[in-house]
Amino acid sequence: MQADPRPLVLHVVYRFDTGGLENGIVNLINHMPSTAYRHAVLALTEVTDFRERIQRRDVEFISLHKPPGHGVWQYPKLFKLFRQLRPAIVHSRNLAALEAQVPAWAAGVPVRIHGEHGRDVSDIDGSKVTYQRVRRLYKPFVHHYVALSRDLNDYLVQKTGVPQKKIAQVYNGVDTMRFSPAADGPQSIAGCPFSPAQHWLVGTVGRMQPIKDQLMLAQAFLQTLAMAPHLKARLRLVMVGEGPLRAQAQAMLDQAGVGDLAWLPGERSDVADIMRGLHAFTLPSLAEGISNTILEAMASALPVVATAVGGNADLVIHGQTGFITPPSDPQAMAQQLMTLADNPWRAKAMGQAGRERVLAQFSLQSMVSAYQAVYDQQLARKNLSPIR
């Protein structure tokens, strides 16, 4: 049996589960021409049912079930795995997977790439010296880096000493066919008690954990109602996602007497339909890389109010496609929510401008082409070439 001539890209992550980083891998594998590369996904811990989102049937998934802590003791296992799979490219993502670069080097993997997708929950501003030292320690084993935002690009250069020529900045892309506005305006969301024809729905989608800071959004919603009591008749809050902050946010809203003005359904798989039922989107995070949900909201023609962290300002043009507000500042976010809710025509125009921006600069094809160019160029540096 003749060996498959397509080079293998081995994507290494800490855990392959619901998340923006993982969704980017799904989109990359699903939309890169199958004639270009083979793909495999290696999770240092677990591969979950999230794997079902990958449509190609020739993708292998591997779980190492690694316990917490540094995985030096797993180097022999990784070395053996790399020798067995013989990937042309090992592409690790974020600090938790960076340690795989050492056994990849030892196993003679021709091209070793590392991607920085966002801040760690314990290092939201990138100031943690220990993490900077770890990245510098692994730097000799990495051929090339991918940064998903200008912020992460600058971090690699200024904090870890990576030469700019060794960094490619690649923005996430969004499926603008799947994420698109409803033809006749916002549509009803299955299970939601609010009607977009009667109410003005502002929402967010994401894991409900401290780094995403949905409690700040709940506070901003309360302050919006306090500043503009007339909005209580039609302003409604939608927070989709599961996690420890879900119960806390609901309790905060209930205690304020407005629990019936918010809908927190937990995790949903119909995110595109949810976006089509909103009038505006918010992202109150304390840290971000390049947010897939912002891109999905913009593709759905929603104005976006997001905090000034990570790559959010790379995506949202303040005053044109939405607003950028300081993190941990519910009053600032409330002010912008009130502005949009009181000016629905302006909100709609901002949303349309956001979709046009996504179509021009953040398409899936642009992202896939950029990654493929990085892979091709790095293989060429090793006198290897993908089969076309």
Domain of 300, CATH number, reads 3.40.50.2000
Rounded average pLDDT over 136-160: 96
Q: Which two tokens stand for residue 159?
A: 């904090």
d(CA 331, CA 227): 10
Q: Which two tokens stand for residue 229?
A: 């009591």
User: Domain check: are 162 and 51 in the same one?
Assistant: yes
d(CA 82, CA 278): 46
User: Domain check: are 236 and 299 in the same one?
Assistant: yes
User: Domain check: are 16 and 153 in the same one?
Assistant: yes
Residue 181 lies in a domain: no
User: Domain check: are 244 and 334 in the same one?
Assistant: yes
User: Domain check: are 17 and 118 in the same one?
Assistant: yes
User: Domain check: are 251 and 120 in the same one?
Assistant: no
- Tokens 């500042």: give the residue: 329
Rounded average pLDDT over 3-22: 92
d(CA 45, CA 64): 5
d(CA 368, CA 376): 12
User: Domain check: are 218 and 340 in the same one?
Assistant: yes
User: Domain check: are 373 and 340 in the same one?
Assistant: no
Q: What is the pLDDT of residues 329-354, one digit of tens each?
A: 999 999 999 999 999 999 999 999 99
The pLDDT of residue 19 is above 90: no
Q: pLDDT confidence of 384, banded at 50, 70, 90?
A: confident
User: Domain check: are 236 and 110 in the same one?
Assistant: no
Asked if residue 124 lies in contact with residue 286, where contact means CB atoms within 8 angstroms, the answer is yes
The pLDDT of residue 238 is above 90: yes
Short-list 127, 171, 165, 134, CA closest to 149? 171
Three-state SS at 276? coil
Residue 13 lies in a domain: yes
Three-state SS at 221? helix
The pLDDT of residue 1 is above 90: no
Residue 377 lies in a domain: yes
Q: pLDDT confidence of 129, banded at 50, 70, 90?
A: very high
Residue 191 lies in a domain: no
The pLDDT of residue 71 is above 80: no
pLDDT of residue 118: 85
Q: What is the DSSP string of 1-44?
A: -PPP-SPEEEEEES-BSSSHHHHHHHHHHHHS-TTT-EEEEEES
pLDDT of residue 119: 82
pLDDT of residue 125: 85
pLDDT of residue 4: 86
Q: pLDDT confidence of 53, banded at 50, 70, 90?
A: very high
Please state whether beta strands 304-307 and 111-116 pair in parallel, antiparallel, or not at all (unpaired): unpaired
Rounded average pLDDT over 198-218: 96
pLDDT of residue 67: 84
Residue 98 lies in a domain: yes
Sheet of 322-325, strand order: 262-266, 235-240, 200-205, 280-283, 304-307, 322-325
The pLDDT of residue 387 is above 80: no
Q: What is the pLDDT of residues 80-96, one digit of tens each?
A: 999 999 999 999 999 99
Asked if residue 89 lies in contact with residue 8, where contact means CB atoms within 8 angstroms, the answer is yes
Contacts of 295 (CB under 8 A, 6+ apart): 172, 173, 174, 179, 315, 358, 362
pLDDT of residue 275: 98
Q: Which two tokens stand for residue 43?
A: 């999770």
Short-list 156, 162, 134, CA closest to 289? 156
User: Domain check: are 34 and 83 in the same one?
Assistant: yes
Q: Which two tokens stand for residue 236?
A: 């409604």
Residue 106 lies in a domain: yes
Contacts of 179 (CB under 8 A, 6+ apart): 272, 275, 295, 296, 299, 300
Find the range with the poorest average confidence among 39-48, 117-126, 341-350: 117-126
User: Domain check: are 23 and 85 in the same one?
Assistant: yes
Alpha helical stretches, state H, the chain = 20-31, 75-85, 101-106, 129-138, 150-160, 214-227, 244-255, 271-275, 292-299, 312-315, 330-342, 344-361, 364-381
Rounded average pLDDT over 295-320: 96
Rounded average pLDDT over 27-46: 95
The pLDDT of residue 126 is above 60: yes
Asked if residue 308 lies in contact with residue 288, where contact means CB atoms within 8 angstroms, the answer is no
The pLDDT of residue 121 is above 80: no
Asked if residue 108 lies in contact with residue 79, where contact means CB atoms within 8 angstroms, the answer is no
d(CA 244, CA 247): 7
Can you give the residue range of the structural domain that contains 144? 8-173+364-381
Residue 182 lies in a domain: no
In terms of pLDDT, which residue wins out, 245 or 269? 245
Q: pLDDT confidence of 388, banded at 50, 70, 90?
A: low
d(CA 287, CA 208): 13
**CB contact burial 294-318 (16+ within 10 A = b; e otherwise):** bbbbbbbbbbbbbbebbbbbbbbbe
Q: What is the mean pLDDT of the chain?
A: 94
CA trace torsion 101, 103, 106, 109 (10° rounding)? -60
Neighbours of 22 (CB within 10 A): 25
Residue 29 lies in a domain: yes
User: Domain check: are 25 and 72 in the same one?
Assistant: yes
**Number of domains making up the chain:** 2
